[in-house]
Structure 1
Protein backbone atom coordinates (compact mmCIF):
# COMPACT_ATOMS: atom_id res chain seq x y z
CA UNK A 1 0.00 0.00 0.00
CA UNK A 2 1.36 3.39 -1.01
CA UNK A 3 2.36 5.96 1.57
CA UNK A 4 0.80 9.38 1.24
CA UNK A 5 4.02 10.87 -0.12
CA UNK A 6 3.92 8.30 -2.94
CA UNK A 7 0.43 9.34 -4.09
CA UNK A 8 0.34 10.88 -7.57
CA UNK A 9 -3.43 10.83 -8.32
CA UNK A 10 -6.43 11.56 -6.14
CA UNK A 11 -10.09 10.55 -6.03
CA UNK A 12 -12.33 12.31 -3.56
CA UNK A 13 -15.95 12.13 -2.54
CA UNK A 14 -17.87 15.40 -2.68
CA UNK A 15 -20.54 15.72 0.03
CA UNK A 16 -19.10 15.52 3.53
CA UNK A 17 -15.55 15.84 2.22
CA UNK A 18 -15.42 18.99 0.09
CA UNK A 19 -18.85 20.52 0.76
CA UNK A 20 -21.59 20.40 3.37
CA UNK A 21 -25.01 21.93 2.75
CA UNK A 22 -23.68 23.84 -0.28
CA UNK A 23 -20.76 25.36 1.61
CA UNK A 24 -17.11 24.49 1.11
CA UNK A 25 -15.59 22.67 4.07
CA UNK A 26 -12.36 24.01 5.61
CA UNK A 27 -9.38 23.40 3.36
CA UNK A 28 -11.40 22.20 0.36
CA UNK A 29 -10.84 25.31 -1.77
CA UNK A 30 -7.11 25.29 -1.02
CA UNK A 31 -6.75 21.55 -1.71
CA UNK A 32 -8.46 21.76 -5.12
CA UNK A 33 -6.30 24.76 -6.01
CA UNK A 34 -3.18 22.91 -4.85
CA UNK A 35 -3.96 19.98 -7.13
CA UNK A 36 -4.68 22.27 -10.07
CA UNK A 37 -1.54 24.36 -9.53
CA UNK A 38 0.62 21.24 -9.33
CA UNK A 39 -1.05 19.54 -12.31
CA UNK A 40 -2.07 16.62 -10.09
CA UNK A 41 -4.64 14.32 -11.74
CA UNK A 42 -7.81 14.19 -9.65
CA UNK A 43 -11.52 13.46 -9.87
CA UNK A 44 -14.39 14.47 -7.60
CA UNK A 45 -16.76 11.49 -7.26
CA UNK A 46 -20.43 11.40 -6.38
CA UNK A 47 -23.09 8.69 -6.31
CA UNK A 48 -25.66 11.34 -7.22
CA UNK A 49 -26.79 10.68 -10.81
CA UNK A 50 -29.27 13.57 -11.07
CA UNK A 51 -26.88 16.23 -12.33
CA UNK A 52 -24.48 16.42 -15.26
CA UNK A 53 -20.84 17.30 -14.53
CA UNK A 54 -21.54 20.80 -15.89
CA UNK A 55 -24.41 21.23 -13.42
CA UNK A 56 -22.25 19.99 -10.55
CA UNK A 57 -19.33 22.23 -11.52
CA UNK A 58 -21.70 25.22 -11.35
CA UNK A 59 -23.06 24.11 -7.96
CA UNK A 60 -19.52 23.68 -6.62
CA UNK A 61 -18.54 27.14 -7.88
CA UNK A 62 -21.49 28.57 -5.96
CA UNK A 63 -20.07 26.80 -2.89
CA UNK A 64 -16.65 28.39 -3.47
CA UNK A 65 -14.94 25.46 -5.20
CA UNK A 66 -13.48 25.82 -8.69
CA UNK A 67 -13.69 22.27 -10.07
CA UNK A 68 -13.68 21.83 -13.88
CA UNK A 69 -16.52 19.67 -15.18
CA UNK A 70 -14.00 17.24 -16.66
CA UNK A 71 -12.76 16.62 -13.10
CA UNK A 72 -16.15 15.33 -11.92
CA UNK A 73 -17.11 11.65 -12.13
CA UNK A 74 -20.68 10.65 -11.28
CA UNK A 75 -22.38 7.28 -10.86
CA UNK A 76 -24.27 8.14 -14.07
CA UNK A 77 -21.01 8.48 -16.01
CA UNK A 78 -19.67 5.29 -14.48
CA UNK A 79 -22.90 3.48 -15.38
CA UNK A 80 -22.81 4.74 -18.97
CA UNK A 81 -19.13 3.77 -19.24
CA UNK A 82 -19.92 0.26 -17.98
CA UNK A 83 -22.89 -0.25 -20.29
CA UNK A 84 -20.92 0.99 -23.30
CA UNK A 85 -18.23 -1.60 -22.53
CA UNK A 86 -20.88 -4.33 -22.23
CA UNK A 87 -23.08 -3.49 -25.23
CA UNK A 88 -21.87 -0.67 -27.50
CA UNK A 89 -24.79 1.08 -29.20
CA UNK A 90 -27.33 -0.56 -26.90
CA UNK A 91 -30.68 0.73 -25.69
CA UNK A 92 -32.10 1.55 -22.29
CA UNK A 93 -35.27 2.50 -20.50
CA UNK A 94 -34.25 5.03 -17.88
CA UNK A 95 -35.80 6.13 -14.62
CA UNK A 96 -33.70 9.16 -13.78
CA UNK A 97 -32.76 12.72 -14.61
CA UNK A 98 -30.58 14.58 -17.11
CA UNK A 99 -27.35 13.38 -15.49
CA UNK A 100 -28.22 9.79 -16.43
CA UNK A 101 -29.85 10.31 -19.81
CA UNK A 102 -27.12 12.70 -20.98
CA UNK A 103 -24.38 10.25 -19.98
CA UNK A 104 -26.08 7.40 -21.85
CA UNK A 105 -26.69 9.52 -24.95
CA UNK A 106 -23.04 10.53 -25.00
CA UNK A 107 -22.09 6.85 -24.66
CA UNK A 108 -24.07 6.10 -27.84
CA UNK A 109 -27.15 4.57 -26.22
CA UNK A 110 -30.74 4.90 -27.45
CA UNK A 111 -33.46 5.72 -24.93
CA UNK A 112 -36.56 3.62 -25.54
CA UNK A 113 -39.41 1.85 -23.76
CA UNK A 114 -39.72 -0.74 -26.52
CA UNK A 115 -37.70 -3.90 -25.83
CA UNK A 116 -34.64 -2.13 -24.36
CA UNK A 117 -31.47 -4.00 -23.57
CA UNK A 118 -31.37 -2.46 -20.09
CA UNK A 119 -33.60 -0.89 -17.48
CA UNK A 120 -31.48 1.72 -15.70
CA UNK A 121 -32.65 3.24 -12.41
CA UNK A 122 -30.96 6.38 -11.14
CA UNK A 123 -31.73 9.24 -8.82
CA UNK A 124 -34.75 11.45 -9.47
CA UNK A 125 -37.03 13.70 -7.47
CA UNK A 126 -40.10 12.67 -9.47
CA UNK A 127 -40.43 8.89 -9.32
CA UNK A 128 -43.40 7.88 -11.47
CA UNK A 129 -45.68 4.93 -10.70
CA UNK A 130 -46.20 4.46 -14.44
CA UNK A 131 -42.43 4.42 -15.08
CA UNK A 132 -41.83 1.93 -12.26
CA UNK A 133 -44.60 -0.28 -13.63
CA UNK A 134 -43.04 -0.09 -17.10
CA UNK A 135 -39.63 -1.01 -15.65
CA UNK A 136 -41.09 -4.05 -13.88
CA UNK A 137 -42.73 -5.28 -17.08
CA UNK A 138 -39.63 -4.72 -19.21
CA UNK A 139 -37.43 -6.61 -16.75
CA UNK A 140 -40.01 -9.39 -16.80
CA UNK A 141 -39.57 -9.53 -20.58
CA UNK A 142 -35.80 -9.89 -20.29
CA UNK A 143 -34.29 -6.40 -19.97
CA UNK A 144 -31.18 -6.37 -17.77
CA UNK A 145 -31.62 -4.48 -14.48
CA UNK A 146 -29.02 -1.79 -13.64
CA UNK A 147 -28.87 0.77 -10.82
CA UNK A 148 -26.54 3.74 -10.54
CA UNK A 149 -26.16 3.47 -6.77
CA UNK A 150 -27.54 1.58 -3.77
CA UNK A 151 -28.43 4.52 -1.48
CA UNK A 152 -31.90 3.95 -0.02
CA UNK A 153 -32.35 7.52 1.15
CA UNK A 154 -31.03 10.95 0.33
CA UNK A 155 -30.84 14.11 2.44
CA UNK A 156 -33.10 17.14 2.37
CA UNK A 157 -33.74 20.09 4.66
CA UNK A 158 -36.99 18.43 5.80
CA UNK A 159 -35.47 15.00 6.36
CA UNK A 160 -34.63 11.86 4.39
CA UNK A 161 -36.00 11.28 0.89
CA UNK A 162 -36.47 7.92 -0.84
CA UNK A 163 -33.57 7.38 -3.20
CA UNK A 164 -32.41 4.89 -5.83
CA UNK A 165 -32.07 1.92 -3.48
CA UNK A 166 -35.63 2.31 -2.22
CA UNK A 167 -37.03 2.29 -5.75
CA UNK A 168 -34.90 -0.65 -6.92
CA UNK A 169 -36.06 -2.59 -3.83
CA UNK A 170 -39.65 -2.13 -4.99
CA UNK A 171 -38.78 -3.31 -8.49
CA UNK A 172 -36.78 -6.25 -7.13
CA UNK A 173 -39.68 -7.33 -4.95
CA UNK A 174 -42.02 -7.28 -7.95
CA UNK A 175 -39.65 -9.01 -10.38
CA UNK A 176 -37.49 -11.26 -8.21
CA UNK A 177 -34.45 -9.67 -9.91
CA UNK A 178 -31.69 -7.74 -8.15
CA UNK A 179 -29.99 -4.89 -10.04
CA UNK A 180 -26.32 -4.73 -10.83
CA UNK A 181 -25.20 -1.59 -9.00
CA UNK A 182 -22.36 0.35 -10.66
CA UNK A 183 -21.77 3.19 -8.18
CA UNK A 184 -20.07 3.08 -4.78
CA UNK A 185 -19.42 0.74 -3.02
CA UNK A 186 -18.75 -1.13 -6.26
CA UNK A 187 -15.00 -0.62 -6.82
CA UNK A 188 -15.76 -0.58 -10.54
CA UNK A 189 -16.70 3.10 -10.17
CA UNK A 190 -13.18 3.80 -8.89
CA UNK A 191 -11.57 1.75 -11.64
CA UNK A 192 -13.49 3.61 -14.34
CA UNK A 193 -12.52 6.90 -12.67
CA UNK A 194 -8.86 5.91 -12.66
CA UNK A 195 -9.09 4.96 -16.33
CA UNK A 196 -10.50 8.42 -16.99
CA UNK A 197 -7.37 10.14 -15.63
CA UNK A 198 -4.81 7.46 -16.48
CA UNK A 199 -4.20 6.56 -12.84
CA UNK A 200 -3.03 3.30 -11.28
CA UNK A 201 -4.13 1.85 -7.95
CA UNK A 202 -0.53 1.70 -6.71
CA UNK A 203 -0.25 5.49 -6.58
CA UNK A 204 -3.86 6.67 -6.16
CA UNK A 205 -5.68 7.69 -2.97
CA UNK A 206 -9.38 7.90 -2.19
CA UNK A 207 -10.73 10.47 0.28
CA UNK A 208 -14.18 9.79 1.70
CA UNK A 209 -16.43 10.28 4.69
CA UNK A 210 -18.27 6.93 4.65
CA UNK A 211 -16.84 3.60 5.75
CA UNK A 212 -19.54 1.59 3.95
CA UNK A 213 -19.02 3.14 0.49
CA UNK A 214 -15.90 5.27 0.03
CA UNK A 215 -13.50 3.33 2.23
CA UNK A 216 -14.58 -0.26 1.53
CA UNK A 217 -14.65 0.38 -2.23
CA UNK A 218 -11.26 2.10 -2.04
CA UNK A 219 -9.79 -0.87 -0.19
CA UNK A 220 -11.27 -3.32 -2.70
CA UNK A 221 -9.87 -1.25 -5.58
CA UNK A 222 -6.41 -1.34 -3.97
CA UNK A 223 -6.21 2.39 -3.21
CA UNK A 224 -4.68 4.32 -0.33
CA UNK A 225 -7.77 5.23 1.70
CA UNK A 226 -8.32 8.36 3.78
CA UNK A 227 -11.39 8.85 5.97
CA UNK A 228 -12.25 12.42 6.96
CA UNK A 229 -14.47 13.18 9.94
CA UNK A 230 -16.33 16.11 8.36
CA UNK A 231 -19.16 13.88 7.11
CA UNK A 232 -21.22 11.18 8.78
CA UNK A 233 -18.46 9.04 10.30
CA UNK A 234 -17.03 9.35 13.79
CA UNK A 235 -14.88 7.01 15.86
CA UNK A 236 -17.85 4.91 16.98
CA UNK A 237 -18.92 4.49 13.35
CA UNK A 238 -15.41 3.39 12.39
CA UNK A 239 -15.40 0.75 15.13
CA UNK A 240 -18.48 -0.93 13.64
CA UNK A 241 -16.53 -2.24 10.64
CA UNK A 242 -13.94 -5.04 10.37
CA UNK A 243 -11.74 -2.97 8.03
CA UNK A 244 -9.85 0.29 8.53
CA UNK A 245 -8.78 3.16 6.29
CA UNK A 246 -5.07 3.84 5.90
CA UNK A 247 -5.52 7.28 7.45
CA UNK A 248 -8.16 9.07 9.53
CA UNK A 249 -8.06 12.88 9.33
CA UNK A 250 -10.16 15.62 10.86
CA UNK A 251 -10.70 17.05 7.37
CA UNK A 252 -9.08 17.74 3.99
CA UNK A 253 -7.31 20.77 5.46
CA UNK A 254 -4.73 18.27 6.78
CA UNK A 255 -3.81 17.37 3.19
CA UNK A 256 -2.70 20.87 2.22
CA UNK A 257 1.04 21.02 1.75
CA UNK A 258 2.44 24.03 3.55
CA UNK A 259 5.13 25.96 1.75
CA UNK A 260 8.38 26.03 3.75
CA UNK A 261 9.10 29.33 5.43
CA UNK A 262 12.36 30.84 4.24
CA UNK A 263 14.73 31.76 7.03
CA UNK A 264 16.79 34.97 7.02
CA UNK A 265 19.61 33.11 8.76
Structure 2
Protein backbone atom coordinates (compact mmCIF):
# COMPACT_ATOMS: atom_id res chain seq x y z
CA UNK A 1 0.00 0.00 0.00
CA UNK A 2 1.32 3.43 -0.95
CA UNK A 3 1.13 5.79 2.00
CA UNK A 4 2.77 9.13 1.34
CA UNK A 5 0.32 11.29 3.26
CA UNK A 6 3.17 12.59 5.44
CA UNK A 7 5.03 14.02 2.44
CA UNK A 8 4.52 17.76 2.07
CA UNK A 9 7.41 18.53 -0.30
CA UNK A 10 8.43 16.62 -3.42
CA UNK A 11 11.88 17.12 -4.96
CA UNK A 12 11.44 16.28 -8.63
CA UNK A 13 14.06 15.29 -11.17
CA UNK A 14 13.10 16.53 -14.64
CA UNK A 15 14.88 14.71 -17.52
CA UNK A 16 13.39 11.21 -17.70
CA UNK A 17 10.96 11.90 -14.85
CA UNK A 18 8.75 14.85 -15.80
CA UNK A 19 9.65 15.07 -19.49
CA UNK A 20 11.84 13.63 -22.21
CA UNK A 21 13.12 16.25 -24.63
CA UNK A 22 10.18 18.53 -25.34
CA UNK A 23 7.47 16.03 -24.41
CA UNK A 24 5.86 15.55 -21.02
CA UNK A 25 6.01 11.95 -19.83
CA UNK A 26 2.76 10.05 -19.14
CA UNK A 27 0.90 11.35 -16.10
CA UNK A 28 3.43 14.08 -15.28
CA UNK A 29 1.01 17.00 -15.48
CA UNK A 30 -1.64 14.96 -13.67
CA UNK A 31 0.75 14.30 -10.77
CA UNK A 32 1.87 17.94 -10.53
CA UNK A 33 -1.72 19.16 -10.46
CA UNK A 34 -2.71 16.58 -7.87
CA UNK A 35 0.27 17.40 -5.63
CA UNK A 36 -0.50 21.11 -5.78
CA UNK A 37 -4.20 20.56 -5.07
CA UNK A 38 -3.21 18.54 -2.00
CA UNK A 39 -1.12 21.49 -0.78
CA UNK A 40 2.26 19.85 -1.41
CA UNK A 41 5.32 21.96 -2.16
CA UNK A 42 7.44 21.21 -5.24
CA UNK A 43 11.10 21.84 -6.11
CA UNK A 44 12.45 20.74 -9.47
CA UNK A 45 15.95 19.43 -8.81
CA UNK A 46 18.02 18.66 -11.90
CA UNK A 47 21.62 17.64 -12.47
CA UNK A 48 21.49 19.02 -16.01
CA UNK A 49 23.83 22.02 -15.85
CA UNK A 50 23.66 22.91 -19.54
CA UNK A 51 20.70 25.26 -19.03
CA UNK A 52 19.71 28.05 -16.66
CA UNK A 53 16.91 28.05 -14.10
CA UNK A 54 15.07 30.58 -16.30
CA UNK A 55 15.21 28.15 -19.24
CA UNK A 56 13.74 25.29 -17.19
CA UNK A 57 11.01 27.54 -15.77
CA UNK A 58 10.03 28.66 -19.27
CA UNK A 59 10.10 25.06 -20.54
CA UNK A 60 7.81 23.79 -17.78
CA UNK A 61 5.47 26.74 -18.30
CA UNK A 62 5.34 26.07 -22.05
CA UNK A 63 4.46 22.44 -21.32
CA UNK A 64 1.52 23.48 -19.19
CA UNK A 65 2.96 23.78 -15.69
CA UNK A 66 3.48 27.42 -14.60
CA UNK A 67 6.92 27.67 -12.99
CA UNK A 68 9.41 30.37 -12.01
CA UNK A 69 13.22 30.20 -11.68
CA UNK A 70 12.73 29.98 -7.90
CA UNK A 71 11.06 26.60 -8.43
CA UNK A 72 14.24 25.18 -10.02
CA UNK A 73 17.55 24.09 -8.50
CA UNK A 74 20.24 22.95 -10.94
CA UNK A 75 23.61 21.36 -10.22
CA UNK A 76 25.14 24.35 -11.99
CA UNK A 77 23.55 26.79 -9.57
CA UNK A 78 24.56 24.63 -6.60
CA UNK A 79 28.14 24.54 -7.91
CA UNK A 80 28.31 28.32 -8.35
CA UNK A 81 26.91 28.80 -4.84
CA UNK A 82 29.46 26.33 -3.41
CA UNK A 83 32.44 28.06 -5.05
CA UNK A 84 31.11 31.48 -4.00
CA UNK A 85 30.91 30.24 -0.39
CA UNK A 86 34.59 29.25 -0.55
CA UNK A 87 35.92 32.25 -2.50
CA UNK A 88 33.42 34.94 -3.53
CA UNK A 89 35.56 36.37 -6.36
CA UNK A 90 37.10 33.08 -7.48
CA UNK A 91 38.68 32.76 -10.91
CA UNK A 92 37.09 29.81 -12.75
CA UNK A 93 37.96 28.01 -15.96
CA UNK A 94 34.55 26.71 -16.99
CA UNK A 95 33.90 23.85 -19.39
CA UNK A 96 30.22 24.60 -19.92
CA UNK A 97 27.57 26.28 -22.01
CA UNK A 98 27.01 30.02 -22.27
CA UNK A 99 23.92 29.69 -20.06
CA UNK A 100 26.02 28.11 -17.31
CA UNK A 101 28.68 30.79 -17.79
CA UNK A 102 26.03 33.51 -17.39
CA UNK A 103 24.78 31.85 -14.20
CA UNK A 104 28.31 31.70 -12.76
CA UNK A 105 28.79 35.39 -13.59
CA UNK A 106 25.67 36.34 -11.60
CA UNK A 107 27.46 34.92 -8.53
CA UNK A 108 30.40 37.28 -9.13
CA UNK A 109 32.75 34.51 -10.27
CA UNK A 110 35.43 35.51 -12.78
CA UNK A 111 35.54 33.25 -15.84
CA UNK A 112 39.05 32.95 -17.25
CA UNK A 113 41.70 30.53 -18.43
CA UNK A 114 44.43 32.73 -16.93
CA UNK A 115 45.59 31.39 -13.54
CA UNK A 116 42.17 30.10 -12.43
CA UNK A 117 41.50 28.95 -8.86
CA UNK A 118 39.09 26.26 -10.07
CA UNK A 119 38.38 24.18 -13.16
CA UNK A 120 34.66 23.40 -13.40
CA UNK A 121 33.27 20.73 -15.69
CA UNK A 122 29.59 21.00 -16.58
CA UNK A 123 27.36 19.26 -19.10
CA UNK A 124 28.79 21.11 -22.07
CA UNK A 125 26.82 20.64 -25.29
CA UNK A 126 29.25 23.14 -26.90
CA UNK A 127 32.32 21.10 -25.95
CA UNK A 128 35.43 21.52 -28.14
CA UNK A 129 38.82 19.83 -28.14
CA UNK A 130 40.40 23.15 -27.17
CA UNK A 131 38.27 23.33 -24.02
CA UNK A 132 39.23 19.77 -23.08
CA UNK A 133 42.91 20.40 -23.78
CA UNK A 134 42.95 23.54 -21.62
CA UNK A 135 41.03 21.88 -18.78
CA UNK A 136 43.28 18.81 -18.77
CA UNK A 137 46.45 20.92 -18.67
CA UNK A 138 45.14 22.99 -15.75
CA UNK A 139 43.97 19.87 -13.89
CA UNK A 140 47.34 18.17 -14.47
CA UNK A 141 49.01 21.30 -13.09
CA UNK A 142 47.04 20.85 -9.85
CA UNK A 143 44.21 23.40 -10.15
CA UNK A 144 41.22 22.49 -7.94
CA UNK A 145 38.83 20.45 -10.11
CA UNK A 146 35.04 20.40 -9.66
CA UNK A 147 32.26 18.78 -11.70
CA UNK A 148 28.65 19.90 -11.53
CA UNK A 149 27.22 16.34 -11.50
CA UNK A 150 28.07 12.67 -12.16
CA UNK A 151 25.38 11.62 -14.69
CA UNK A 152 26.96 9.45 -17.40
CA UNK A 153 24.20 9.87 -19.99
CA UNK A 154 21.46 12.40 -20.64
CA UNK A 155 18.15 11.02 -21.95
CA UNK A 156 16.69 12.56 -25.11
CA UNK A 157 13.76 11.71 -27.35
CA UNK A 158 16.15 9.93 -29.74
CA UNK A 159 18.24 8.08 -27.15
CA UNK A 160 21.02 8.78 -24.66
CA UNK A 161 23.84 11.27 -25.22
CA UNK A 162 27.11 11.55 -23.24
CA UNK A 163 26.71 13.64 -20.10
CA UNK A 164 29.12 15.08 -17.55
CA UNK A 165 30.04 11.69 -16.05
CA UNK A 166 31.31 10.49 -19.43
CA UNK A 167 33.55 13.57 -19.65
CA UNK A 168 34.79 12.93 -16.09
CA UNK A 169 35.96 9.49 -17.27
CA UNK A 170 37.68 11.00 -20.30
CA UNK A 171 39.52 13.59 -18.21
CA UNK A 172 40.50 10.97 -15.64
CA UNK A 173 42.02 8.86 -18.40
CA UNK A 174 44.13 11.85 -19.46
CA UNK A 175 45.05 13.36 -16.08
CA UNK A 176 44.58 10.60 -13.51
CA UNK A 177 42.43 12.95 -11.43
CA UNK A 178 38.80 12.84 -10.33
CA UNK A 179 36.78 15.95 -9.44
CA UNK A 180 34.80 16.97 -6.41
CA UNK A 181 31.20 16.49 -7.56
CA UNK A 182 28.45 18.86 -6.38
CA UNK A 183 25.17 17.62 -7.90
CA UNK A 184 22.96 14.70 -6.93
CA UNK A 185 23.62 12.60 -4.88
CA UNK A 186 26.14 14.78 -3.03
CA UNK A 187 25.63 16.80 0.12
CA UNK A 188 26.20 20.22 -1.46
CA UNK A 189 23.08 20.07 -3.64
CA UNK A 190 21.13 18.40 -0.81
CA UNK A 191 22.05 21.27 1.50
CA UNK A 192 21.02 23.76 -1.18
CA UNK A 193 17.64 22.01 -1.54
CA UNK A 194 17.02 21.99 2.22
CA UNK A 195 17.93 25.67 2.47
CA UNK A 196 15.35 26.39 -0.25
CA UNK A 197 12.70 24.09 1.27
CA UNK A 198 13.27 23.82 5.05
CA UNK A 199 11.06 20.80 5.78
CA UNK A 200 11.86 17.86 8.03
CA UNK A 201 13.33 14.75 6.40
CA UNK A 202 10.06 12.90 7.07
CA UNK A 203 8.13 15.49 5.08
CA UNK A 204 10.30 15.28 1.95
CA UNK A 205 10.55 12.82 -0.92
CA UNK A 206 12.85 12.63 -3.94
CA UNK A 207 11.28 11.46 -7.21
CA UNK A 208 13.55 10.47 -10.08
CA UNK A 209 14.48 7.92 -12.72
CA UNK A 210 18.07 7.15 -11.69
CA UNK A 211 19.30 4.91 -8.90
CA UNK A 212 22.84 6.28 -8.63
CA UNK A 213 21.81 9.94 -8.49
CA UNK A 214 18.14 10.42 -7.55
CA UNK A 215 17.69 7.44 -5.22
CA UNK A 216 21.18 7.86 -3.79
CA UNK A 217 20.22 11.48 -3.05
CA UNK A 218 17.18 10.28 -1.10
CA UNK A 219 19.33 7.82 0.84
CA UNK A 220 22.05 10.38 1.60
CA UNK A 221 19.48 12.97 2.70
CA UNK A 222 17.46 10.51 4.79
CA UNK A 223 14.26 11.21 2.86
CA UNK A 224 11.77 9.00 0.99
CA UNK A 225 12.97 7.78 -2.41
CA UNK A 226 10.44 7.28 -5.22
CA UNK A 227 11.81 5.71 -8.40
CA UNK A 228 9.98 6.04 -11.72
CA UNK A 229 10.84 3.72 -14.60
CA UNK A 230 10.19 6.34 -17.28
CA UNK A 231 13.85 7.21 -17.86
CA UNK A 232 17.23 5.54 -17.43
CA UNK A 233 16.46 2.84 -14.85
CA UNK A 234 14.63 -0.30 -15.93
CA UNK A 235 13.07 -3.02 -13.77
CA UNK A 236 16.02 -5.39 -14.31
CA UNK A 237 18.46 -2.83 -12.91
CA UNK A 238 16.82 -2.95 -9.47
CA UNK A 239 18.10 -6.43 -8.60
CA UNK A 240 21.67 -5.37 -9.41
CA UNK A 241 21.63 -2.12 -7.42
CA UNK A 242 22.81 -1.68 -3.83
CA UNK A 243 20.50 1.34 -3.62
CA UNK A 244 16.90 0.42 -2.85
CA UNK A 245 14.14 3.00 -3.45
CA UNK A 246 11.24 3.12 -1.01
CA UNK A 247 8.71 3.01 -3.85
CA UNK A 248 8.85 2.10 -7.55
CA UNK A 249 6.30 3.22 -10.16
CA UNK A 250 6.21 3.03 -13.94
CA UNK A 251 5.78 6.80 -14.21
CA UNK A 252 4.33 9.83 -12.45
CA UNK A 253 0.87 8.91 -13.71
CA UNK A 254 0.93 5.65 -11.76
CA UNK A 255 2.15 7.51 -8.67
CA UNK A 256 -0.74 9.98 -8.99
CA UNK A 257 -3.18 7.07 -9.29
CA UNK A 258 -1.78 5.35 -6.19
CA UNK A 259 -1.92 8.61 -4.22
CA UNK A 260 -5.59 9.09 -5.13
CA UNK A 261 -6.34 5.58 -3.82
CA UNK A 262 -5.04 6.52 -0.36
CA UNK A 263 -6.88 9.84 -0.07
**TM-score normalised by structure 1 residue count:** 0.87
Aligned position for 1:30: 30
C-alpha distance after superposition, 1:130-173 (max 9, x if no partner): 12111122223332101112223334455543332222323223
Aligned position for 2:144: 144
Map residues 226-237 of structure 1 onto 2, 5 A cutoff. Answer: 226-237=226-237
Aligned position for 2:126: 126
Structure 1: gaps of 5 or more residues: none
Measured after TM superposition, the shift of residue 44 of structure 1 is 0.8
CA contact (8 A) 1:190 1:221 kept: yes
Measured after TM superposition, the shift of residue 259 of structure 1 is 10
Map residues 80-95 of structure 1 onto 2, 5 A cutoff. Answer: 80-95=80-95
Rg larger in 1 or in 2? 1
Measured after TM superposition, the shift of residue 187 of structure 1 is 4.0
Measured after TM superposition, the shift of residue 196 of structure 1 is 1.6
Distance 2:219 2:262 in 1: 33
Specify whether residues 108 and 242 from structure 1 end up closer, same or farther in structure 2 by C-alpha distance, changes over 3 A only.
same
Aligned position for 2:209: 209
Distance 2:236 2:143 in 1: 42
Measured after TM superposition, the shift of residue 222 of structure 1 is 0.6
CA contact (8 A) 2:21 2:156 kept: no
Aligned position for 1:109: 109
Q: Size of the alignment, in residue pairs?
A: 259
Aligned position for 2:53: 53
CA contact (8 A) 2:204 2:224 kept: yes
Aligned position for 1:15: 15
**TM-score normalised by structure 2 residue count:** 0.88
Distance 2:143 2:157 in 1: 36
Distance 2:75 2:262 in 1: 39
CA contact (8 A) 1:18 1:24 kept: yes
Aligned position for 2:191: 191
CA contact (8 A) 1:93 1:111 kept: yes
C-alpha distance after superposition, 1:23-57 (max 9, x if no partner): 22233223323444555332111111111111112
User: What RMSD over aligned residues (CA atoms) do the two structures have, in Å?
Assistant: 2.4
Distance 2:131 2:233 in 1: 35
Distance 1:117 1:64 in 2: 42
Structure 2: gaps of 5 or more residues: none
